[in-house]
Amino acid sequence: MNKNKRDIIAISIVSLFFAISIAQMTFQVGAQEEYTKPFFKINIMTPKGSVNRENVGYLLAEELLKIGIEVEYHIIDMSDWLSHAFAVPNTWDEGGYDMFLVQMGYGYDPNGMSGMFKTENWYPTGFNLYAYANPIVDQLLDDGVKETDSTRREEIYMEVGAILYDELPVIPYWRVINTFLLRDEVEGFEPIPEMGNMNNWEVPGRDYIKYVQSADADNLLPLFISSGISQRAVGFPCFDSLVTLDESNIPGPDLAESWEWVNETYIIFTLREDLKFHDGHPLTAEDVKFTFDAVMTEETASIHYSDTSDAIKDVFVLDTLEVAIELNTPFIPFLTQIAKEGILPKHIMEDIPYAEWKTCWMNTGINADGTPAQIIGSGPYKYIEWKKDEYIKLEAFEDHWKAPTTSEIYMVVIPDAATAYAALEAGEVDILNDWMGWTAEDINFANESPNLKTATYALPGPELVGINLGHPILANKWVRKAINYMIPREHIIDDLLGGGSRVAYQFLDEQTLGYNPDLEPIEYSVEKAKECMEKAGYLYEYITPKPSEPLPQWVWYTPVLTLVVGAVIGYAVLAMRKGT
């Protein structure tokens, strides 16, 4: 074969392969562009502070695009997150939200679902942040708190769980093993009960401790506190309740040293002697009645209004140290529920109209003239100073019935987890909050460090996707089901979290009464997600050609035509060489 013929063949072959490559790339790129073409866009928000949760948000944005849902992802300050969440049913574009990522606790009793899913508990009278309304669920939750037979009560909550599993106002996907990171020298710290033993915290040879959270408080009075951040910063340290919960979530004495059920709807509490508020004023049964009366007054706008007014008929002062509470009906988790209700000082707040409580100095920490205010509670620590977005300073209340070991505690705000970790390593702070989403690497490093240690506990409340049912697209249950199938739960646990946590498919934990073992795990499935989207009215013909449809004819014709063109070019080249 002479050189000219080899040139012609070479040019023809190159042209052929070039044409095939161009055809394949053109078709594949075109298909990919079609594949990622979204039906609509959804905004997802999450509060700053948890690296793991933030990473889940990025992952969901990638996954949902596979079924035609574009995601705009927002990692925002907790205060901004709450503002958006409380604006439900407004969408993100209207100042509310579309979907959010967060961990939601319900305590340990299934009645904790009432505050989140009953229709009457839409914010601000409760914590239903999803615009969820189902009269069947409302009735079941009402029946559950009254039912005294444990078997029947379990059946009721299993039915609620099945409805939530189907309707998906929230999508649980991960049940957290929470971990605190501490300096090794910290003593007396226990992760459970939550902040309940902070009077025992100490660093030998030092009179202060610095505890880090990822965000600042939003309210100071317990009846308005809607975030765990605020509860830990001020609620638990500064305000005592009638009862407290131990590490097994069993009610025990707090301000009340004992109680007696006279019948199923009437209970008498006996207070401890010599109880005092932080200003030295005695705490009596009058303060207890005053607090519950305020919570049950709608004008006050307490976050506990619906749950408390549903449960309590009236409160009676029997003596200086005796107070009776009459319930509307038998209410099994009553003691657990009131453990969150910090008792307020009547002598300070009785002249403030209920409608002004949320904006008064006792809740904002700021006097009318703009100067810092000294809020008054009865807990083991006194509120001393609040530097916004920096710290809240607490001081031991020496007259408390369980006097604290450490003189001062600083509730420090460090939004960035890496910055907080570096401060712990450097000895600048002592305890890092468990809600900052520590990775497996962070935890392993702390356990291996001679200067650090960890404290862990399992929390029943799941990490979840909260959904605004007021959103015109997300109101469609089939869209929510599609999203549920696109959450790669096993991948999140094994790869993002490094193991050690549990997947979640239903709201209640398996250790909680009412957990429903008949509800099947949700597999990750693009195919099933697409089926749900099509049931919602979103069709995929434009994304992937059906198997019976042939590929476009130009895909096959182009290589042949290019081969002919290549041969012509080859002969032309040969002719030119002969001419020279």
Domain CATH code at residue 68:
3.10.105
What is the C-alpha to C-alpha distance for residues 166 and 518, in angstroms, rounded to an integer?
Answer: 13
Please indicate, yes or no, whether residues 209 and 312 belong to a single structural domain of this protein.
yes
Query: In whole angstroms, what separates CA 245 from the centre of its chain?
Result: 22
Would you state the structure tokens that stand for residue 229, as one six-digit string? 């951040």
Q: Is residue 441 part of a domain?
A: no
3-state secondary structure of 346: helix
Please indicate, yes or no, whether residues 160 and 197 belong to a single structural domain of this protein.
no
Please indicate, yes or no, whether residues 501 and 420 belong to a single structural domain of this protein.
no
Q: Which residues contact 528 (CB under 8 A, 6 or more apart)?
A: 485
- Identify the pLDDT of residue 460: 85
Q: Is residue 518 part of a domain?
A: yes
- Identify the pLDDT of residue 83: 94
Please report, for the domain that includes residue 231, its CATH number. Answer: 3.40.190.10
Residue 478's H or E segment, with its range, is helix 477-485
Q: Is residue 440 part of a domain?
A: no
Please indicate, yes or no, whether residues 390 and 299 belong to a single structural domain of this protein.
yes
| Domain final position from 412, 429, 446 | 429
- List, in sequence order, every residue forming a beta bridge with 391; answer none if it has no partner: 387, 412
> Is the four-CA dihedral 334, 337, 342, 347 of positive or negative sign?
negative
- Identify the pLDDT of residue 548: 45
Is-contact 230 239, C-beta < 8 A?
Answer: no
Please indicate, yes or no, whether residues 111 and 150 belong to a single structural domain of this protein.
yes
Please indicate, yes or no, whether residues 53 and 127 belong to a single structural domain of this protein.
yes
Q: Is residue 278 part of a domain?
A: yes
Please indicate, yes or no, whether residues 394 and 339 belong to a single structural domain of this protein.
yes
Q: Is residue 541 part of a domain?
A: no
What is the C-alpha to C-alpha distance for residues 384 and 374, in angstroms, rounded to an integer?
Answer: 6
Please indicate, yes or no, whether residues 24 and 45 belong to a single structural domain of this protein.
no
| Total-model pTM | 0.75
Nearest one of 295, 301, 376 to 338, comparing CA atoms:
295
Please indicate, yes or no, whether residues 198 and 126 belong to a single structural domain of this protein.
no
Please indicate, yes or no, whether residues 108 and 149 belong to a single structural domain of this protein.
yes
Calculate the alpha carbon distances from 336 to 137, 206, 460 in Å.
Answer: 21, 35, 15
Average pLDDT per 10 consecutive residues for the chain, totaling 580 residues: 52 49 46 64 94 94 97 94 95 98 88 92 88 97 90 96 98 91 96 81 97 94 92 95 87 96 97 97 98 97 91 97 96 91 97 97 94 96 96 97 94 94 97 89 94 90 96 98 98 86 94 94 97 96 51 49 52 50
Would you state the structure tokens that stand for residue 33, as one six-digit string? 């562009």
Q: Is residue 551 part of a domain?
A: no
Please indicate, yes or no, whether residues 281 and 413 belong to a single structural domain of this protein.
yes
Please indicate, yes or no, whether residues 204 and 278 belong to a single structural domain of this protein.
yes
Nearest one of 242, 529, 540, 216 to 378, comparing CA atoms:
242
Q: Is residue 71 part of a domain?
A: yes
- How many structural domains comprise the chain? 3
Q: Is residue 356 part of a domain?
A: yes
Range of the domain at 16: 3-28+557-579
User: How far apart, in Å, do the first and last CA atoms of the chain sit?
Assistant: 21
